[in-house]
Chains A and B, each alone.
Chain A
């Protein structure tokens, strides 16, 4: 629709309850083969103190949403529509100078490859101080805060003088989290924060993040492909497929009563450690090419319950209850 320049948001649309409110966000990557519609009309909100999980396979647009929220997308990526409201301010309307002050002090991100996010030739202390000094905290104050931050994430402050290669993978991840928390953001985006870590370390870090969240009261956007992990850590979960949100629900509801066939398929892709052992099916086929997404519902070529209408019309998102919504023709008439 709004390809060039988004329409201004009318005032009464603002929803004061949400910390972050993403509405109809659209991002394309311009490639030689044509535009890749990586995020295609995604809407969801994060309330203060809430953990919202974004789940989906690689290429489903999860990370693109995170990057769009911080406006750190680079060409050929282009935000073509929608609004990203943070405390009712549209991030997509901010100027560069305002944006520079806004980033990190309000929203910080822990990247997927956090182990490589650190500069190998700088001591971790300097990398921590760098962030704080850039945002105008005097060096003396920042030095003290650096020690407090290391305490907070469970690393001996003596390790502040270490170089990244002298730290283990788990410790490096903690350093990156400390840097993310340096300016006390109210929203922390975690983009596959533990994918590269071993299970035991992963558990430690997640435990720590939950503790910090309770203590400091920030909200979390948690991005991962591991649904079983999300069910444990999130309040609400949005399931993404091929650039769209196909189902949204509170974590427990989603786990107990998944509605969308894709969500069901994802649930069927993780063997359990304690449940009965039965053959799991996964999902046949592979995700679509987003240059030419399939017509109708994007999931229909892989869907076991596809009907004729699924290849013709894109399903609209329908609320099944206060907090549970799904975009699927199976639930068109309720």
Chain B
């Protein structure tokens, strides 16, 4: 995956010795809806646990409405957590900084959004966008320092000539260039963890790989960890050391990306895999696992496994109890009654 190694599997082992930078335990988020007379809750994220090691990319995969974005908004502490722990470098930040995240936490955890057209302010030039985090986080003393740092950042993300780009306005840049600016903005404050929310889905196909490779290079060079959100299993596998599969707010399977795509256990993961167009596998008419249906409503959901209504291997217990975690091997786990 990185240029140093030809065998992608070696890379998943290497960061294993490093301690987790992020450890999420039992993360839960309910959104109340309706008026004060009804107490309906949207169960957006339900009991999600996973960890990210230093220098690792963890991909969160799921369809729209599966809770991926809510998870990273919770980790970034943009919205309050209903229940659960977020351990950052071993410290439970919800306890140590209960009311709101400290400036230091907000520096270390940065976000990249899906839409590079909406995430940049049209009335400010690129230099303004990159100077702001530098000023807020006191990274530079004076104007010329700031300008030098801005140019450095632009060069880091491959935008040349940097002084020229710095003067431009967002509308003068292409989608790919804007997304590079958004990445540079995240890098400005030396983050330890970057939360990337579908950073390539709005970009033209021919430049998507450029952006993914840039993220991958920065991971190696700056020792940054990532949570990468996508609905596309192929890109999750391409960039992620680990892949976690989300369904209706639940994390149903997780493990090394290679295991998830080659040896998927959960019926939902198998369904997702069968839906990915894959010319390399030859022209398939149907792989037989297609199940009609869509993600269930998350408002006061019924008990049991969220996938029970669509699962071809559903059993009686699936409609009663949420399955616990079963280990397939030391890294690969699944939450499904079939494997209890």
Binding site for B on A (CB under 8 A): 57-58, 154, 168, 170, 198-204, 207, 225-229, 231-232, 252, 255, 265-266, 268-275, 277, 279-284, 286-287
Q: A232-B277, A279-B3, A286-B176 are in contact. Are A272 and B208 (CB under 8 A)?
A: no
In the assembled complex, the Cα of A225 lies from the Cα of B176 at a distance in Å of: 16
**Inter-chain contact B232/A199, CB cutoff 8 Å:** yes
Question: Size of chain B's interface in residues, with CB distance under 8 A?
Answer: 44
In the assembled complex, the Cα of A217 lies from the Cα of B235 at a distance in Å of: 36
| Cβ-closest chain B residue relative to A232 | B277
**Inter-chain contact B206/A199, CB cutoff 8 Å:** no
Chain B residues within an 8 Å CB radius of A274 = 261, 278, 280-281
B1's partner among A58, A225, A268, A277 (CB-CB below 8 A) is A277
Chain A residues within an 8 Å CB radius of B8 = 277
B9-49 near A? 1/0 per residue, CB < 8 Å: 00000000000000000000000000000000000000000
Chain B residues within an 8 Å CB radius of A255 = 279
B204 at the A interface (CB under 8 A): yes
B290 at the A interface (CB under 8 A): yes
Q: A170-B294, A231-B279, A268-B209 are in contact. Are A280 and B204 (CB under 8 A)?
A: no
A138 nearest CB across to chain B (Å):
34
Chain B residues within an 8 Å CB radius of A273 = 233-234, 237, 261, 273, 276, 278, 280-281
Chain B residues within an 8 Å CB radius of A280 = 209, 212-213, 238
In the assembled complex, the Cα of A200 lies from the Cα of B281 at a distance in Å of: 18
B221 nearest CB across to chain A (Å):
15
B274 nearest CB across to chain A (Å):
7
**Inter-chain contact B3/A252, CB cutoff 8 Å:** no
Chain A residues within an 8 Å CB radius of B272 = 199-200
In the assembled complex, the Cα of A168 lies from the Cα of B292 at a distance in Å of: 13
In the assembled complex, the Cα of A275 lies from the Cα of B16 at a distance in Å of: 25
Binding site for A on B (CB under 8 A): 1, 3, 8, 63-64, 174, 176-177, 204-210, 212-213, 231-235, 237-238, 258, 261, 271-281, 283-284, 286, 290, 292, 294-295
**Inter-chain contact A199/B63, CB cutoff 8 Å:** yes
Query: How many A-B pairs with Cβ below 8 Å?
Result: 114
Contacts A232-B279, A252-B283, A283-B206 aside, 10 further interface pairs with beta carbons under 8 A come to A199-B232, A204-B290, A207-B290, A231-B279, A273-B278, A274-B281, A277-B1, A277-B8, A277-B238, A279-B1
Chain A residues within an 8 Å CB radius of B276 = 199, 273
In order of increasing CB-CB distance, the 7 nearest A-B pairs are A282-B209, A271-B238, A283-B206, A203-B275, A198-B63, A231-B279, A275-B280
**What are 16 pairs between A and B in contact, CB < 8 Å?**
A57-B205, A168-B294, A199-B63, A199-B272, A226-B277, A266-B206, A269-B209, A272-B234, A273-B261, A273-B273, A277-B1, A277-B8, A277-B258, A279-B1, A281-B209, A286-B174
In the assembled complex, the Cα of A2 lies from the Cα of B235 at a distance in Å of: 46
In the assembled complex, the Cα of A268 lies from the Cα of B279 at a distance in Å of: 13
In the assembled complex, the Cα of A170 lies from the Cα of B64 at a distance in Å of: 12
**Inter-chain contact B275/A202, CB cutoff 8 Å:** yes
Chain B residues within an 8 Å CB radius of A270 = 205, 234
Most chain B CB within 10 A, of A270, A281, A284, is at: A270
Chain A residues within an 8 Å CB radius of B286 = 207
**Inter-chain contact A200/B63, CB cutoff 8 Å:** yes
Chain A residues within an 8 Å CB radius of B1 = 277, 279
In the assembled complex, the Cα of A265 lies from the Cα of B208 at a distance in Å of: 12
A199 nearest CB across to chain B (Å):
4
